[in-house]
Structures are given as C-alpha cells and as structure tokens.
Amino acid sequence: MQRSIFVCRIFIEMTEPMDRRNFLKKASSFALLTAGAATGVSRVFAHAPLSGTKGETDKVGDKLQPNEKMEYRRLGKLDVSAIGLGCLPMVGYYGGKYDKREMIALIRRAYDKGVTFFDTAEVYGPHTSEEWVGEAVAPFRDKIRIGTKFGFGVEEGKPTTLNSRPDHIRRAVDGSLKRLRTDHIDLYQVHNPSMEQLDTVIGEGGALEALLEAKAAGKIGHIGLTAHSTAVFERALNLDWVETIMFPYNIVENQGDGLIRKCQEKNVGFIAMKPLAGGAIENGTLALRYVCSNPAVTVVIPGMAEVSELEENIKACSDAAPLTEAELAEIEQIRHQLGTNFCRRCNYCAPCTVGISIPSAFLFAGYLERYNLADWAKDRYGSMAVKASACVGCGKCETRCPYHLPIREMLKKVAEEFGE
C-alpha cells in the first residue's frame, strides 16, 4: 500500500513543472517502482581538508570551521568548499514552484554536509534567492562565504536591463546586504558584462569606482566577474582588481580550458558554472566528475533545489577516481549528441517580442528528440501560451544570446517538430 501511494505521488509530481534532470530522475523512479526494483547506497566524502584551510581568517568574516570530510580550496583569497550551492533553480527559474521552508532547509543541509560557498544574485527572483539565502545562513553566517552579483537594473525595476552606473551599484550593494541579512558580502561579482559594458565598468565614473568604495568601507570583501564569452574572460584575467572569474565549464563547453589554466597560474579563483550545460546533460554524476577532475577548477556550483540532488552532487564531486574508459566513451557520445547549438537556459534572450518562452520551447523539443518522452513533451508544449510558430523573426533574442545561437532558425525547427 505504501509503495502504491509513493508511486502515485511521483506520478502527480511528474505533472508539475520541473527541470529536466528532476523529471528524468522521477520518471526513472516511477519506472523502477512499477517494475518492483530497489536502489540506494550513498557514500561519504573521503577527502580531508586541504592543508592550511582550517582556522584561516580572511579580512572579512571570522574563522571557517570546515567539515573534516569536505575538500576545501582557495578561491582567490577566500577559503571555500570544492562544491558550492547554486541558488538560482530554487526560486523556480527553470520552472516549478518551491517551498521557501524547504529551500531554507536545503541550504542548511548543504552547510551540515560541509558546503561553505553559496552563489546567488540580486536578479534571481528577482531578490527572492538573496532573501532565502540570507535567512537560511543567518545562524552560521560567519562560517560560510556568500557570492552574489550585480549589473542589472533590479533596484530600478528593470531586471532585464543592464546597469553598471556607480549610483546604481551603491543602491545594489545596500539592497543585497539587507536581503542577505549581513554587514558584508564576501564576493561581489560583475554579472556577465559584454566587452562594451566592461568598458563602462572600468571607465571614468564607472562601476569600479563604487566597487572600490564599497570594498574600502568593508561592505564587500572581494570582487569578481562572471562571463559567457571567452573574450570577456580573457580580458578579465588582465584586470588586477578581478579576484575570481565564473564561466561555463562542462563536458560540451570546454572552450575556456586554456583560460582556466591561466587563472590557476595567476592565483585567480575559478568558479565553474553550468556543469550540466543548463540541464542539457542527463548524467549529472558524470558531468560533475568531469568538471571536478580538472585541478584548475576551484569550485563548481551546480544549481540545486532538492536534498536528493545535493546528496548526489556531493557524492559525485567526492569521487576522485580517474574517469573510466566507459565514462570517457559516454563523454564523447554526449559531445556528439549535443554539439554546441543547444540552449543553456540562461534566459538572456528574454524578453521575446511576442512572448515566447524560448528556453521552454527548446526544453520540450529536447524531451521530444532525446529522452523518449514524446507524449509528455507534446502535452507540455501544447500548454504554452505562445508557441514557437509565433516567432516574427525580429532577431532581438539573438543579439542578447551570449552563445550566439541561431534562435530564429531553432524556433522554426521546434515548430516543425511539433507539427505546427
């Protein structure tokens, strides 16, 4: 009887919005349960903290007290766990609705497991992610590191418009401090600037002026930058005020390999984002093992919204064994399957002129093409208020896409695949 109830629960959850990894995981669970199968052995970390990390103090914050089973690394001048918690998915950015209490419990569970780096941004929500992180970490604020980001006009009610003016930065810093319930931000990052926007940041009267002012006042401890472009990445490496760089790195996106090694040589901390390529890679364990096998990666920040994901991801990052021949073969298969023209669901293409949820359209097409979930994909695509066929070809989305995807052609293909 209990098993039947659980199966029903999974079936109900599968009808709710969720990201691709969770859907596949729950779909697999449903199949296993109906077949009468059973799973489950988890492992604990075998790594000890790196020498010199325990008890060290940064200019901002008190002593860290690492979990003895977690590996800790030096991110610029900050001590952090080898795996951090990406706090974007938990606010429903990729679909689904998450309970605040459950997400706060997730963050605290991550801390209990030894995670000491929490990644958020003012634009996530907007504001919601920072608020939840701030409430969750309040009991142990001095034992962890918070990285947040600025660059969008959230404080002015324009969350899709980039803004790096000094007056905005001052408001953004104070807003983040309030939401995070803290008197300092450990790592404050310029959020995905273009080359032109980076000129504005470092130019006379630009954001750098306000950043250095906030740092001198003790409001921020360290300054970093996030990027989706190798050109911006390379330029950031030559800016002496940039202490950390965040960039996509995964099985199918290794274009930054050389620059990541330069980060290591220059003692610039490297944060690997999108380790599952925005959810395009189904095998999350393999994806994380691949990223964590690179010694130049300081910390990886998979987005998580469930305790089960947390447990799986920590387990994957703790496995220091070399990649097997079978895993290397699967990596090549994934690269062949995905190529480079796929949506990472960063949503920088938004807003669409006619209201198409572009990442959702590509997500459902992925279900249709790759995961043998055609009926589910057709049902979900059919429920979209504005479908791919509504594209008017204005091209504005393509000018905003950091991956330079041919979105108009891709939307046309989606419409054809769904028989529009």
Which residues are the active-site residues?
A: 124
DSSP assigned state of 126: T
Alpha-carbon gap, residue 349 to 160, rounded angstroms: 10
Is the preceding peptide bond at 126 cis, omega within 30 degrees of 0?
A: yes
| Phi/psi at 231 (5° precision) | -65, -45
Distance CA 184, CA 126 (A): 20
Residues 192, 182: contact at Cβ < 8 Å?
Answer: no
Task: At 54, list the tokens.
Answer: 């325990």
CA 112-43-264 angle, 5° bins? 70
Mind giving me the DSSP string for 344-400?
----TTPSPTT---HHHHHHHHHHHHHSS-HHHHHHHHHT-SS-GGG-----HHHHH
> Phi first, then psi: what are they for 40, rounded to 5°?
125, 85
Dihedral angle over CA of 324, 330, 335, 337, nearest 10: 180
- Looking from the CA of 309 toward its CB, the CA atoms found within 13 Å total 29
Indicate the SS3 state at residue 29: helix
Q: Who's near 57: CB < 8 A, 6+ residues apart? A: 63
- What does the alpha-carbon distance between residue 202 and residue 239 come to, in Å, rounded to a whole number? 9
Nearest to 420 by CA among 372, 365, 370: 365
DSSP structure class, residue 89: G
